[in-house]
Amino acid sequence: MAVPKFRITCALCRKPIPLSQDVHALDREWKRRFPALPGVLACERCATRTHWRCELPTGGFVDGHIPASVPDGADFDAWSHLLTPGTHKALVIKYPRSGLLQGAESYLRHVEARPYASPQFVARFRAVLTEWEAGADLDPFQEATF
């Protein structure tokens, strides 16, 4: 069974992300600042060229700030809220709900139908696809747990 070709649409600019580029996952602070985001996957240009400061000049954070989950605790700008970048396939598997919302349904169905995939893996993807088919409100920030 051939792997279907797919293109993820950037959550910020809504353009297809070139296959030659890594995809960046965004955290919930991006959703707070950009409420219309359809998912968490963004192109390199949007992810690295969008700037804001989390801290106020007088100290503390802006109202409603969602702390970044960075290992060293540094939380001061938009880059603090970028999660690990990865390939299109890797991040669609890590964030399948966002993948569905951003154009990777055919790939996720392919992954779910692989004959050599573990039963737990298949069950988790089947659950996500069932949510999608039922028209449920998908939380794109929810990672797949394996």
Q: How many Cα neighbours within 13 Å face the side chain of 14? A: 4
| Distance from C-alpha of 37 to C-alpha of 11, rounded to nearest angstrom | 5
Q: Is the pLDDT of residue 10 over 90?
A: yes
User: Who has greater pLDDT, 1 or 117?
Assistant: 117
At residue 104, the pLDDT reads 93
How confident is the model over 34-72, as pLDDT tens digits? Answer: 999 999 999 999 999 999 888 888 888 888 988 888 766
At residue 145, the pLDDT reads 61
User: Who has greater pLDDT, 46 or 79?
Assistant: 46
| Distance from C-alpha of 112 to C-alpha of 12, rounded to nearest angstrom | 28
Domain map of the chain by residue range?
24-133
pLDDT average, residue stretch 93-109: 93
| Distance from C-alpha of 134 to C-alpha of 63, rounded to nearest angstrom | 36
Q: Which helix (H) or strand (E) holds 25?
A: strand 24-25
**pTM of the predicted model, to two decimals?**
0.88
At residue 116, the pLDDT reads 86
Structure token pair of residue 132? 């999608």
Q: Is the pLDDT of residue 129 over 60?
A: yes
At residue 146, the pLDDT reads 52
